[in-house]
Amino acid sequence: QVQLQESGPGLVKPSETLSLTCSVFGGSISSYYWSWIRQPPGKGLEWIGYIHSTGNINYNPSLTSRLSLSIDTSKNQFSLRLRSVTAADTAVYYCARIGAGEAGDAFDIWGQGTMVTFSS
């Protein structure tokens, strides 16, 4: 049973860089696409981007200028870096797996999420 676990600071100062890591347990990171999704308090879900171990990466156009995704197959982890953060980036950040086959358009496994707040 594949499980995902996000890690990273819960509090970030405005204009700084948010760094989060998602650890994949119970399966290889190399076989799937992996994604980040966020949810501001009381609001809906927003897709951030996805990455594959082959180097295929895709970003939400609204975040492209500030966003970097990376993957470390030796650690079975993938990471997010979001630069120049503001209060508008306050959200629960989830990592998720994109399914295969007919589930290839679905996020079939999710981490528990990590709340990130921005404060000076």
Out of 10, 54, 61, 65, name the contact with other proteins by CB under 8 A: 61
Out of 32, 34, 78, 94, name the contact with other proteins by CB under 8 A: 94
Q: Does 11 interact with other proteins (rule: CB under 8 A)? A: no
Comparing C-alpha atoms, which of 12, 25, 10 is closest to residue 78? 25
Q: Does 114 interact with other proteins (rule: CB under 8 A)? A: no
Burial class of 38 by CB neighbour count within 10 A (0 to 12, 13 to 18, 19+): buried
CA distance 32 to 100: 7
Q: Does 55 interact with other proteins (rule: CB under 8 A)? A: no
Smallest gap from Cβ 78 to other proteins, in A, equals: 16
Interacting residues of 47 by C-beta distance below 8 A, sequence separation 6+: 35, 37, 60
**For other proteins, which stretch binds (CB under 8 A), given 14-22, 68-76, 80-88, 98-106?**
98-106
- Which residues are paired to 47 by β-bridges? 37
Q: Tokens 């508008």 correspond to what residue?
A: 88
Residues that bind other proteins (CB under 8 A): 35, 37, 44-47, 50, 58, 60-61, 94, 99, 102-103, 105-108, 110-113
